[in-house]
Structure 1
């Protein structure tokens, strides 16, 4: 859980820095894009958990 909180805090800080420097974020700028990445991650984890990709 500590790793998740640290990752979230780091991502938040980097997002603020990118906004301050007026740089494009290295991630999809919409919730739909972010959820696509989450779905990809969950699909991968499911496949690995059930041994579909051995």
Structure 2
């Protein structure tokens, strides 16, 4: 849980800094970006699960 909180805090700080210096946010479109991140995570988990089954 601490890791999630620190990640959120880092993201908020980066967002504030980028907006303060008038740069575009270094993030994908909101919903598509979140879905893509979950997809990458679950893809990695599926690979680990499949590797364990095959070994």
Q: TM-score range by the shorter chain?
A: 0.5 to 0.7
Worse-superposed segment, 41-50 or 10-19: 41-50
Unaligned runs of 5+ in 2: none
- State the 4+ residue runs in structure 1 displaced beyond 3 angstroms: none
Instruction: Please give the root-mean-square deviation of Cα atoms over the aligned residues, in Å.
Output: 2.1
The alignment's TM-score, normalised by the length of structure 1, stands at: 0.68
The alignment's TM-score, normalised by the length of structure 2, stands at: 0.67
Please tell me whether residue 23 in structure 1 is matched to residue 29 in structure 2. Answer: no
Highest Rg: 1 or 2? 2
Unaligned runs of 5+ in 1: none
